Each structure stands twice: as C-alpha cells, then as structure tokens.
Structure 1
C-alpha cells in the first residue's frame, strides 16, 4: 500500500510537469499560427499558463487526486482564513529581506514574468489560477498522500512537499522563497486538512508580487529593500520589526485556532 501511494506522489508530480511542458510546446505555435503577425508574446504566455492550469485543475479534480469539498468554507472558519491573510502580509517584508541577504541566484523567468504582469489578463493566471492549481497539486494531492504514508510524522512530509514545490518552479531565484513559503503552506494544510487557507496565502503572496512588478516593472530586478525605504536602513529595520508584530501574533492565533490532524 505504501509503495502504491509513493508511486501516486510521483504520478502527481510527473503529470504536473508533463502538462506544463506540452502546453509550452503546443500553445505558442498554435497561437502564432492563428494570429499571424499580430501575435503578442504576453498574450501567448497568458494563454499557455491558462491552458495548463485549467487542464491540471480538471485532471486532479476529475481523477480525485485532490478531493475538493465546500465543507471547510461551510464550517465558517473565517478566523483561520483571516489570520492566514494577516500572517502572509506580515511575512512579506521579512521574507524579502531574507531573500535579499542570500547569495544572488539566476532569475531565469524574469522577462516572462514581467510580460505576464504587463498583460491585462496576467493577474488571472498568476494570482488566481496558479494559487489554486499549485495548492491542489502540492498540498491537496502530494502532501495529503505523504501524510497518509508517513503516519505519525508531520514535518518530514511537509519538508518533502515544500522541496518539490520549490523544485517545480524551475527558477533558482524563486526556489529558496518557494521552499520557505511551502513549509508554511504545508503546515497550515496539515492542521486544517483543507487547501483553502493555503490558496488564500498563495493568492495574497502572488498579488503583492504582481502589484510590485506592475508598479515598478523596470526597477524590480535592481531595486533593493533599502531603496524602498529611501535608502534609510533605520526605517527598513523598523519595518521588519513592525512586520514581526503582525506575523508572530497571527502565527499564535493560527496555532491556537487550528487543531493538529492525526
């Protein structure tokens, strides 16, 4: 049984990669064939992202790889959802500082991401489709299966799913951030048994990143944390400290308001 479930994890991950790669090879030439000289790179990226997101959503839902139920929302866990959003907002500045303090890694998708954000429909794929589909795959399917296989263990499955989540981004610059965020997403899933809080966290995180790139499309690759605070290190330090006054109480509320699942 455990061996079969381990194969399930590999299957989920493999299909996630296959659909993304196939869409990447098929959609752009089809789009250019249909539109001809009017083809727009940003629209091409949006269509590709939307197609593989929709295909993966339908596949994981129809095959019951990620069981979806309205029970968590019907249970009116508004407090957990609220504190998840607060925690995510409080973590943004400290995480940005931590990411900046790490050795610089190559950003392989910077140009594509800027084009996506610049599109009128970029928000839909980056901030709506991506959070839902990625939570279905990595928490609703992969982590759920790992928790079932490794009964009595919580953190090992969380770390494994976070590692796979970081790896699937296939962009060194995003991997450390994705891994840390994946730890929280896995933790909140393990305590609630629902992808809803994770989707909310993912949505807030992606939306903030989207807005930052949208507002400063040409500066984001070079801008540093201190630049956002007028070069004042003191103001930056105060912003980080203030963020912890948001983040830590929110984390405490989440710990007390969620029950660890067996």
Structure 2
C-alpha cells in the first residue's frame, strides 16, 4: 500500500488492463473468478516455483541477499505487461522470499501472497 501511495505522488496509477477488465465487467461471478485465480491458483504455483525452487536454487549459489534480489527481479519481470505495478511486484517478491527464509516453507508465502492478491482484487472491484 505504501508503494501505491508513493506511486500516486508521482502521478502513477495502479490501474492497468487487469483492473480495467475487472471493473468493466463487474459481477459476483467475475469477482469470484478473479479471487480464485489471483488469490488461490496464482499464489500456489508462483510460490512453489519462485520461492520453493528458484529462490532456493539461487540461495545455494549466491547467498540470501542476491537470491532474494534475483528471484524478485524475475518475479517482477513475469508480471509484465502490468508495468505500472512492477515496483509492487518486486517488493512483494522480496517479502515473499523473506517469508520463505523465515519459515523454510512455501505455505506461509502462499497464504500471504493469496491474501495480498485477494485484497487487491476486492479493492479493484470496489473502486
């Protein structure tokens, strides 16, 4: 949320093709599909891949700091073409890597990732 606020100070916006799609065809069904997709499905496979596999592999070769940075940069790049939210994706990647490192499990990262995405979907639908 802090990053969104900072972006707004410099004329940035969180709106992109995904937010426009949700807002233009808003219904209980589309919000439910968006929550299932962004809040459940994506966090499971993204955390298994980016933290469970990629971050762990990078950590054995480059250490925690570089592994966090590189895996977060790759995570951010995977979220293109939503260019206006890339900073959020990068910072989220760092937080999810820290969550994995702190717990040695992808499950807490899946939960945090899912809750974050769900909150953003609901805010977008309400906005």
TM-score (norm 2): 0.82
Task: Please point out which of 154, 157, 163 is paired with 2:64.
Answer: 154
Does residue 88 of structure 2 align to residue 177 of structure 1? yes
2:52, 2:66 → 1: CA distance? 16
1:197, 1:134 → 2: CA distance? 13
Q: Contact (CA 8 Å) 1:117, 1:210: kept in 2 or not?
A: no
Post-superposition CA distance 1:160-185 (Å, at most 9, x none): 01111111011201211110111111
Does residue 9 of structure 2 align to residue 101 of structure 1? yes
Alignment of structure 1 residues 112-191 onto 2, 5 Å: 112-114=21-23, 118=27, 119=30, 120-150=32-62, 153-170=63-80, 171-191=82-102
Q: Contact (CA 8 Å) 1:117, 1:213: kept in 2 or not?
A: no
Q: Contact (CA 8 Å) 2:3, 2:87: kept in 1 or not?
A: no
Give the C-alpha shift of residue 214 in structure 1. Answer: 1.7
Could you say which structure has the greater relative contact order, defined with CA pairs below 8 angstroms and 6 or more residues apart? 2
Bigger Rg, structure 1 or 2: 1
Where does the alignment leave 5 or more consecutive residues of structure 1 unmatched? 1-91, 217-262
Structure with more helix by fraction = 2
Question: Structure 1's 187 and 173: CA in aligned 2 closer, same or farther, altered over 3 A?
Answer: same
TM-score (norm 1): 0.42
1:134, 1:161 → 2: CA distance? 11
- Count how many residue pairs are aligned between Structure 1 and Structure 2: 122
Where does the alignment leave 5 or more consecutive residues of structure 2 unmatched? none
Runs ≥4 residues deviating over 6 A: none
Q: How much is the aligned-residue C-alpha RMSD, in angstroms?
A: 2.2
Post-superposition CA distance 1:221-250 (Å, at most 9, x none): xxxxxxxxxxxxxxxxxxxxxxxxxxxxxx
Q: For residue 104 of structure 1, give the secondary structure of its aligned residue in structure 2.
A: coil
Give the C-alpha shift of residue 115 in structure 1. Answer: 5.9
Q: Contact (CA 8 Å) 1:131, 1:203: kept in 2 or not?
A: yes
